[in-house]
Every structure is written in C-alpha cells, then in structure tokens.
C-alpha cells in the first residue's frame, strides 16, 4: 500500500511538471502526462511495472468514469435536436472509414508475411475494429485545456461520445468473425445477446443513475454534499461495470447526459466542481497510459504494420469524416476540420487489443509469434505514436476555427486583466483655483462622474465627484466665489494602475466606492479614472468578444 501511495504521488507530481514543461513549448499538456508515464513506466525507469499496473487498474476505471460523466455532461438535448443527424453521420463515416482502410491494409500485409488467408483476414478485421475507437479522454482534455467553445468543439465531444458504442460493436462482431476464420466456434445468438447486454445495460444503468442524481441534487442545499453524492455515484458506476463487464465510459456518459438534460441549471456548477476535483485523477490516468506502453524489440515487418496502421487510420478517420459530413449535409466547418480531432487513441483501443490478444493467442503467425501478441504489440506502439499526433491535431483544428479561449466566464476575464486595461485614460482635470461655476460646467460637458483636482504643478491633490456637489446644487449664489479647492475631497490611493483587476474590484467593493482617481506614484500626476461600473461593462464586452457573440 505504501508503494502504491508513493507511485500515485510521483505520478501526479511528475505529470504536472511534465504538463508545465510541454505547455511552455506550446504542446498540449496531455502529452506531458504521457511522457512522464513513459519515463517512469515499463519503457523507462520501471517505477511503475508489471506488479503496480494491475494494482492501479481500478483507479483507471474510476478515471474513465469521471471522464465519461463529464463528456456526457456536454451532451445537451438542444444540440442533438439541431445537429444529431450530422453527428451520427460523421460518427459512422469516421468509424467505418478507419475500419475498412486499416482492416484492408493490415490484412494484406499479414497475408504477404504469413501466406495464410484466414489468419490475414482475422488480423485485418481485428485491427480494423480496434482502429475505429477514438480516445475521448485526451481529446476532451485538450478542449478543456484551451477552453474551446463552438460548433467544432461540440461536434468533437458528441462524436467521441458516440464513437465508443460503435467501436465496441465493431470489435465484438469483428473478433467473432476472426475466431470463425481461424477455426474457432461461436454462437451468434450468444454474441448478440452479450453485445446487447453490454451496450443497452450500460446505457440503462447510466440513465437510472442520472435521474437519481438529478433528484438528489434538487433536494440538496449544499454544493459540497452534492459533489460527494456525485463522486459516490461514479464509484458505484465504475464498480458495477467492472463487476458485470459493462462499459464504464458508456455508462458514465449516459449518466452525465441524463443529469445535464434533467437539471441543467443545478448540474452545470456541479460539473465544474467535479472537473476541478478530478484534475489529479486525470493526471494519473494519462501517466498510467504512458506507463503501460512497452516497446520491446519486435521484427521489422511488425513495424511495417504499425506504420500502415497509423497512416491508414489517419486517412480513414479524416476521409470518413468528410464523407459522413457530406452525406449528412453538415456545415463546412465540420466537414473540413472535425476529422483532424479524431486521431487520438488510448485506453479503449489498448483494452480491446488485450482482449483480442486472449482470443487470438493460439493462432501462430511466424517464428513462434502468435496473432494475439502481434495485435497487442502493434496497438501498443501505435497508441504511443497516435497520442503524440492526436492532441496536437485537436489543438490545430480548434485554432484554425477560432474556438480557442471562447469557453470563458466573466471571472476568467477579470483574472486576466489589470486596472490599466479598463481604466479611463487622459481624464479631464479641475484646477484647485477654479470657481464652482467652472466645475459644474465641467460636469455638464464631460461624461466623467469624478474629476481629479490638480495644483499649479499638475499634481493631483484631491477629487470632486458628483456626489460631493449634491448639497451645492440649490445654492447657486455661492458658485461665483467658492473654489474647487474648497469642496474637493483629499485623494486616497486606493488602487494602483498595475493592480490585478480582481483585487481592485474587491477593494472598491469593500470600501463601497464606485470610482477613484489613479496617480503616477512618482510625479503624482493623474493618469486615469477607475470606475467600477465602467470596468464591469468592459469585462462584459470582452467576454462577448471572446465567445464570438
């Protein structure tokens, strides 16, 4: 147990350091997590080895439950009402595109190497089925990291969510056909029953959990209690799916989609809290993805399969997306760019390859190497290569479509700004010797609600606001002889030009002040006016600009 805790600490801390380094290089952070996993895993230092990986497997299932739930939380019904047909068409196109291209190419390579048509067909079908899977975890992680928002982002999340069910279906049917081709026996009715239970059962359990969570959230007055209930539900989902061999991601996605559509207003803040809570779990999950990868010495022809698999899968995914988008009459943005976001391959593909390895372990290929080992080794190697390509392609796609940085709130904008970014520069001033008549004329001719009062050297010595003049409105007989210096309020340097906007707004709120004069610390010359109301309007304007409204 102590070793497991130490490994978790090394994984999370090391993963964050890797993410920080890769972000400095403008590379998606998920690649940094995986790189650290490679260093400390089987292919590197061996800190995480064959003993620790099985021990941490339940942790990976929990991470998949978190990821699936948050992906499902993005699937609002109104989006599917508008684009459901297009998303399903694209999903079928990209999944089947990869299946046929990879299946045909790897099958030909295996036939050339082995001379056995049944073994080649079996291997091609299995490779094709596995290639249809898209990793939702790393894809969505990039979208969250860069705060992406828009039609392409919505399309990516929807397609990778639906893609899991298609990959499982193709895999189940493909491995069954492969077993028949290499002399195995299979009961078609039993196969269809098992597949139906896995897919429909996972979905129904997820929907039931989603509705249950919706009722609990509605009656919970504490956000902490709601988060605790949600985490407990995800633990149950992961445990039930693991015990009964159901699909964790599909079940959790169904729960998330049900909750967001049943209780949209209450669930959105809860989903944000869960995303922050789950951050260390994501980090460790991707570190484990890297740690599991083992690239031992393999025959040269196997690397030929790896190369074709990566190239063929990339072509199949992109071309299939284009065909599916064209057939379903999707917008040009989805047709041209969505395929670029579907290259990632992760835990789902590796898990399917492990199961295929067990089914095909008795089929000898060449030199004592069985077909099951070929599938596991090739998919492991391709996962490493594709995980380096996939996240970068997602980033490129959302960059080209201008969707980076659009999923922001007013709080996010405020955190990025300083007082200097929203202050009113070059304010009109009042001299301390000006008569009140001139002062009132200034207020009539300018939009400012307060004016800095300066001396003969131009230094700001006080401030006059509209509130400070209210008592003098009816006493116009004194306007012609009373001076500005007589009614000004001595200036207080409440905030500075370089202060963070969030800090300045909090200070102003605490002091119950709406505006203040900003001075140069050395010359004491007025440099601007910080108006709390104007600052809030500027933040709202910048938010709309970032969101593309």
CB burial of 187-200 (b: ≥16 within 10 Å; e: otherwise) equals eeeebeeebeebbe
pLDDT in tens, 71-84: 777 777 777 677 77
Q: pLDDT-based confidence at 293, cuts 50/70/90? A: low
pLDDT of residue 196: 67
197 pLDDT more than 80: no
In the numeric block, the tokens 């009964």 are attached to: 244
pLDDT of residue 477: 66
CB atoms within 10 A of CB 467: 12
Distance, CA of 17 to CA of 11 (rounded, Å): 10
Contact between residue 524 and residue 460 where contact means Cβ atoms under 8 Å apart: yes
Torsion of CA 390, 394, 397, 403, to 10 degrees: 180
Query: What is the rounded average pLDDT of the residues 450-459?
Result: 84
What's the Rg (C-alpha) of the chain? 31
Q: pLDDT-based confidence at 280, cuts 50/70/90? A: confident
Output 406 or 464, whichever has higher pLDDT: 464
State the DSSP H helix or E strand holding residue 519, giving kind and residue range, or none if neither.
strand 515-519
Give the three-class secondary structure for 453.
strand
Give the three-class secondary structure for 45.
coil
Tell the burial category of 53 from Cβ atoms under 10 Å away from its Cβ (0-12, 13-18, 19+). middle
pLDDT of residue 422: 83
User: Between 347-359 and 117-131, two packed helices, what is the crossing angle to 10 degrees?
Assistant: 160
Distance, CA of 202 to CA of 244 (rounded, Å): 10
Which domains, ranges and CATH numbers included, belong to the chain? 66-214+248-266+300-404 (1.20.1530.20), 413-546 (3.10.580.10)
Distance, CA of 368 to CA of 114 (rounded, Å): 12
Handedness of CA 164, 166, 167, 172 (dihedral sign): positive
pLDDT of residue 471: 65
CB atoms within 10 A of CB 47: 17
pLDDT of residue 42: 72
Q: Which of 205-209, 218-222, 315-319, 338-342 has the lowest mean pLDDT?
A: 218-222
Distance, CA of 74 to CA of 252 (rounded, Å): 12
Query: What is the rounded average pLDDT of the residues 221-229?
Result: 75
CB burial of 423-438 (b: ≥16 within 10 Å; e: otherwise) equals bbeebebbebebebee
pLDDT of residue 46: 75
547 pLDDT more than 80: no
pLDDT in tens, 374-417: 777 787 778 777 877 888 888 898 888 888 877 667 777 888 78
pLDDT of residue 67: 78
212 pLDDT more than 80: yes
Q: pLDDT-based confidence at 115, cuts 50/70/90? A: confident
Strand 450-454, strand 430-431: pairing: parallel
Give the three-class secondary structure for 460.
strand
Q: pLDDT-based confidence at 182, cuts 50/70/90? A: low
φ, ψ (nearest 5 deg) of residue 72: -60, -30
pLDDT in tens, 139-154: 877 887 888 888 888 8
Output 74 or 186, whichever has higher pLDDT: 74
Distance, CA of 193 to CA of 209 (rounded, Å): 23
Output 353 or 509, whichever has higher pLDDT: 509
Average pLDDT of the residues of the chain: 78
Contact between residue 127 and residue 105 where contact means Cβ atoms under 8 Å apart: no
Q: pLDDT-based confidence at 1, cuts 50/70/90? A: very low
Structure tokens at 149: 């928002």
Percent of the chain with pLDDT over 90: 3
pLDDT in tens, 10-30: 888 888 888 888 877 777 777
Distance of CA 447 to the CA centre of its chain: 43
Q: pLDDT-based confidence at 367, cuts 50/70/90? A: low
Contact between residue 287 and residue 14 where contact means Cβ atoms under 8 Å apart: yes
Highest mean pLDDT among 132-141, 191-200, 301-310, 460-469: 301-310
Query: What is the rounded average pLDDT of the residues 236-254?
Result: 80
Output 378 or 323, whichever has higher pLDDT: 323
Percent of the chain with pLDDT over 70: 84
pLDDT of residue 323: 92
Q: Which of 36-40, 245-249, 520-524 has the lowest mean pLDDT?
A: 245-249
């Amino acid at each position: 147990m102590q070793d497991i805790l130490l490994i978790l600490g090394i994984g999370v801390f090391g993963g964050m350091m890797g993410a920080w380094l890769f972000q400095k290089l403008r590379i998606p952070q998920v690649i940094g997590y995986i790189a650290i996993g490679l260093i400390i895993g089987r292919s590197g230092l061996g800190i995480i080895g064959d003993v620790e990986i099985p021990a941490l497997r339940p942790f990976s299932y929990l991470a998949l439950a978190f990821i699936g739930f948050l992906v499902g939380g993005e699937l609002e019904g109104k989006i599917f009402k508008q684009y459901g047909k297009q998303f399903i068409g694209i999903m079928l196109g990209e999944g089947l595109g990869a299946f046929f291209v990879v299946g045909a190419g790897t099958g030909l390579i295996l036939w050339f190497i082995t001379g056995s048509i049944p073994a080649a067909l079996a291997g091609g079908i299995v490779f094709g089925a596995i290639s249809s899977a898209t990793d939702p975890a790393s894809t969505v992680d990039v979208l969250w990291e860069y705060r992406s928002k828009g039609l392409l982002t919505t399309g990516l999340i929807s397609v990778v969510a639906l893609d899991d069910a298609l990959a499982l279906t193709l895999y189940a049917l493909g491995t069954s056909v492969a077993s028949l081709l290499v002399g195995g026996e299979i009961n078609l009715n039993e196969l269809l029953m098992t597949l139906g239970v896995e897919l429909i059962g996972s979905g129904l359990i997820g929907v039931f959990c989603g509705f249950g969570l919706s009722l609990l959230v509605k009656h919970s007055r504490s956000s902490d209690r709601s988060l605790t209930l949600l985490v407990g539900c995800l633990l149950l989902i992961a445990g039930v799916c693991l015990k009964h061999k159901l699909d964790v991601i599909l079940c959790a996605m169904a729960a998330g989609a049900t909750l967001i559509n049943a209780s949209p207003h209450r669930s959105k803040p809860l989903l944000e809290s869960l995303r922050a809570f789950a951050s260390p779990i994501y980090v460790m999950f991707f570190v484990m993805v890297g740690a599991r990868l083992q690239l031992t010495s393999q025959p040269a022809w196997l690397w030929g399969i790896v190369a074709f698999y990566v190239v063929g899968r990339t072509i199949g995914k992109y071309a299939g997306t284009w065909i599916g988008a064209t057939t379903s009459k999707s917008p040009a943005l989805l047709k041209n760019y969505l395929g670029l976001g579907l290259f990632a391959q992760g835990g789902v593909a590796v898990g399917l390859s492990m199961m295929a390895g067990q089914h095909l372990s008795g089929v000898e290929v060449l030199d004592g190497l069985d077909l099951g080992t070929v599938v596991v080794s090739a998919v492991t190697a391709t996962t490493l290569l594709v995980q380096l390509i996939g996240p970068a392609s997602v980033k490129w796609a959302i960059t080209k479509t201008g969707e980076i940085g659009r999923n922001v709130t007013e709080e996010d904008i405020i955190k990025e700004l300083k007082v200097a970014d929203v202050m009113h520069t070059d304010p009109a001033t009042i001299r301390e010797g000006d008569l009140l008549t001139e002062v009132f004329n200034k207020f009539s001719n300018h939009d400012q609600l307060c004016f800095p009062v300066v001396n003969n050297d131009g230094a700001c010595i006080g401030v006059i606001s509209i509130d400070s003049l209210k008592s003098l409105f009816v006493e116009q007989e004194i306007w012609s002889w009373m001076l500005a210096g007589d009614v000004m309020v001595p200036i207080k340097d409440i905030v500075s030009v370089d202060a963070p906007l969030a800090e300045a707004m909090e200070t102003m709120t605490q002091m119950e002040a709406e505006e203040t004069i900003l001075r140069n610390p050395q010359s004491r010359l007025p440099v601007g006016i910080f108006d709390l109301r104007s600052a809030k309007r500027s933040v709202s304007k910048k938010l709309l600009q970032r969101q593309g409204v």
